Amino acid sequence: EDKVVQSPLSLVVHEGDTVTLNCSYEVTNFRSLLWYKQEKKAPTFLFMLTSSGIEKKSGRLSSILDKKELFSILNITATQTGDSAVYLCAANKAAGNKLTFGGGTRVLVKP
Amino acid sequence: DGGITQSPKYLFRKEGQNVTLSCEQNLNHDAMYWYRQDPGQGLRLIYYSQIVNDFQKGDIAEGYSVSREKKESFPLTVTSAQKNPTAFYLCASSVWKGSSYEQYFGPGTRLTVT
C-alpha cells in the first residue's frame, strides 16, 4: 500500500527562525514529489521534484528530494507570520497520475 | 482569467439527500480529480478522470459518483449511501510539465450534512 508520512505533525517557531519539514514516501511507480501550502482553504502549489539532489528554490522556501532514501525536505528560512499554514507533501505515481498525500505539518510562526 | 472553480463554497443538506458538487476548469487540462479532506487530515482521492468519458475510482469511492461528459467539467455526486459525507471537498486538475504532472486545486466546497 502506498504511504506518505510527514513529520513533525506540528511545530511552533518565532519569526526569523528556520524550519525544516520532512516527508518520507513508499510509493510504487514513483514519478515525483509535490509540496503544497494550505491556509484554511485550498492547497496552493509550491514545488514539484523529480530528480534527486537538485534543490528547488522560491524566495525563502527551498526543497530537495532523495530518491535513494525516499524522502524530501522543505526548508523555510527567516520565517514570517504569513508562513503559518499546513504544509502538505504528495507523491505522484506514474500510473494514473494519482497523488498520495501525507497528513501534513502544521506550522505556526509567532511574532 | 484561467482557473478551477467550485460551487457552491458552502453547502448544507439533510441526511438522505443526494447532492452534486460542481467543478469547472478552463485551463484545458486533461485530467481532473476529486479529493476529500477531513479536519486535521491530509487529502484522500475519491475519483479521477484522465480523459473525457472515462474515470476511475480512487481510494474512497464508495458512496460517490462522477461524470466527465466535457473536458471542462467534472461534477461529483455525494449519495445518501456515503456514511460520513460532511467534509471539505477539493477538485483538482493536472498538466504535464516535462517530467511529471503538476496538480492544481480549486477553492473547495465545504459540505455539511445534518
Contacts of B100 in chain A (CB under 8 A): 31-32, 48, 50, 92
**In 10 A of CB A25, how many CB atoms?**
22
pLDDT at A40 (0 to 100): 80
Radius of gyration of chain B from Cα atoms?
Answer: 14
- Whether residue B96 is predicted with pLDDT greater than 90 in this model: the reply is no
In tens digits, chain A (111 residues) has pLDDT values of 889 999 999 999 999 999 999 999 999 889 999 999 999 888 999 999 999 988 999 999 999 999 999 999 999 999 999 999 999 999 998 876 788 999 999 999 999
With a CB cutoff of 8 Å and minimum separation 6, the contacts of B11 are B19, B21, B109, B110, B111, B112
**Total residue count of chain A as it appears in this document:** 111
Q: Does B43 touch chain A (CB under 8 A)?
A: yes
The pLDDT tens digits of the residues spanning B27-37 come to: 999 999 999 99
Q: What is the pLDDT of residue A108?
A: 98
- Which residues of chain A neighbour B94 with C-beta distances below 8 Å? 97
User: Which of A97, A100, A105 to mutate to probe the B interface, most B CBs <10 Å?
Assistant: A97
Residue-wise pLDDT tens digits, B21-70: 999 999 999 999 999 999 878 899 999 999 999 999 999 999 999 999 99
Question: Which of A31, A42, A43 has its CB closest to that of B100?
Answer: A31
Contact assignment for A42 to B108 by CB distance below 8 Å: yes
| Whole-number percent of chain B with pLDDT over 90 | 76
pLDDT surpassing 70 at residue B4: yes
